[in-house]
């Protein structure tokens, strides 16, 4: 049936809703530039309440399998593509993209000029939108602020049994973060962010602050607890976790015009001079000017727009990255961040700190 993507500033894009029954959804419209990895994107908690526009013209060609989920269910509000095929080819696939989204009641809008949608978002900035079967509909321009609370389950889970114990603070973590640490010989205990005061009783070797959706400032009530933890244990922050580390030290964050979402973002490591490709998904960044009087040094920078991609503490073993070193989907080059963190974790008692 005929469907529409209506943006809050008034632009309308026509397509076809692939569904057995009329469905309407509302969310923040964003775009993802990667050629693969749609299953991981759909289930990444950082995409909570968002309508995702895939720029690659053919989505769904390798289907949906049972192993590449980043969370237990899709987190997006809606999906917009040029073409979604139902004929998948991968030997592990169990469902088509359409079948998977329909199971969860998520609208799939196809035959849309996604190039023009992206141009519009880049020109006018990220905004609210609706997918609907009606040619006109009112779009609420107010963004949700409590996405983190909606993606975190109220339970503590432990994975792996390695000699190093990592407390992973759950703000909407991706499964691949935990599995990347387990693969490197760690025991990982996932702790909901509102239970972070229990971490000291666990006596972990280190902590990791996970990714998650929304504005980092919505978590301001937890910054004092975060500061106490990260100044006590060797720390790695990823995406939202990176922003929360900066805020905990008194820095500021700001929202990008249309965010970074894709698997092809070049980042320079100022410590080594190396440039590598990264997987990213975020709307907010740390304001570099706000770091002027703080004990945090910029370690990584985005080559395209010079935004901050990671910081290190001047004296304490604290490292943060805006990109995703677990890289699912995306290039695996930045996985060395986990190796560096664990190296520091293993030697911190011998005065090893981040350069």
**36 burial level (CB within 10 Å; 0-12, 13-18, 19+):** middle
Quick one: which of 131, 154, 34, 125 has its CA closest to 76? Answer: 131
**Is residue 269 within 8 Å of 299, Cβ to Cβ?**
yes
| C-alpha–C-alpha distance, residues 54 and 56, integer Å | 6
256 three-state secondary structure: strand
**Is residue 176 within 8 Å of 184, Cβ to Cβ?**
no
**Is residue 98 within 8 Å of 64, Cβ to Cβ?**
no
**Is residue 172 within 8 Å of 147, Cβ to Cβ?**
yes
Structural tokens at position 154: 């109220």
Do strands 275-286 and 253-269 pair parallel, antiparallel, or not at all (unpaired)?
antiparallel
What amino acid positions are annotated as catalytic residues?
Answer: 239, 324, 326
Do strands 164-170 and 186-192 pair parallel, antiparallel, or not at all (unpaired)?
parallel
Phi–psi pair at 168, nearest 5 degrees:
-100, 110
Sorted by sequence, the CB contacts under 8 Å of residue 327 that are 6+ apart come out as 176, 263, 278, 279, 333, 334, 335
**Is residue 236 within 8 Å of 319, Cβ to Cβ?**
yes
Give the chain's radius of gyration (CA, Å).
20
Structural tokens at position 110: 């196809």
């Amino acid at each position: 049936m005929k469907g529409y993507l209506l943006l809050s500033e008034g632009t309308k894009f026509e397509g076809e809703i692939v569904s057995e029954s009329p469905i309407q959804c509302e969310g923040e419209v964003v775009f993802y530039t990667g050629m693969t990895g749609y299953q991981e994107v759909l289930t990444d908690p950082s995409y909570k309440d968002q309508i995702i526009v895939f720029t690659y013209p053919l989505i769904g060609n390798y289907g949906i399998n049972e192993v590449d989920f980043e969370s237990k269910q899709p987190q997006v509000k809606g999906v917009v593509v040029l073409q979604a095929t139902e004929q998948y080819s991968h030997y592990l696939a169990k469902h088509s993209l359409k079948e998977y989204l329909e199971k969860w009641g998520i609208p799939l809008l196809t035959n849309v000029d996604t190039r023009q949608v992206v141009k519009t978002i880049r020109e006018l900035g990220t905004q609210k939108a609706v997918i609907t079967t009606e040619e006109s509909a009112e779009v609420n321009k107010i963004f949700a602020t409590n996405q983190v609370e909606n993606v975190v389950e109220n339970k503590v889970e432990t994975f792996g049994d390695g000699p190093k114990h990592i407390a992973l603070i759950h703000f909407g973590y991706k499964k691949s973060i935990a599995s990347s640490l387990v693969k490197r010989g760690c025991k990982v205990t996932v702790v909901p962010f509102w239970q972070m005061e229990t971490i000291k009783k666990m006596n972990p070797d280190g902590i990791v602050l996970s990714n998650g959706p929304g504005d980092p400032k919505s978590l301001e009530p937890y910054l004092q607890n975060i500061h106490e933890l990260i100044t006590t244990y060797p720390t790695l922050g990823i995406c939202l976790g990176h922003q929360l580390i900066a805020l905990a030290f008194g820095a500021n964050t700001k929202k990008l015009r249309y965010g970074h979402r894709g698997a092809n973002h070049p980042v320079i490591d100022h410590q080594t001079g190396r440039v590598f490709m990264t997987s990213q998904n975020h709307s907010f960044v740390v304001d570099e000017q706000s770091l002027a009087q703080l004990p945090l040094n910029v370690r990584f920078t985005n080559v395209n727009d010079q935004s901050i991609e990671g910081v290190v503490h001047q004296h304490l073993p604290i490292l943060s990255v805006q990109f995703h070193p677990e890289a699912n989907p995306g290039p695996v080059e930045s996985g060395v961040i986990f190796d560096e963190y664990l190296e520091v974790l293993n030697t911190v008692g011998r005065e090893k700190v981040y350069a």
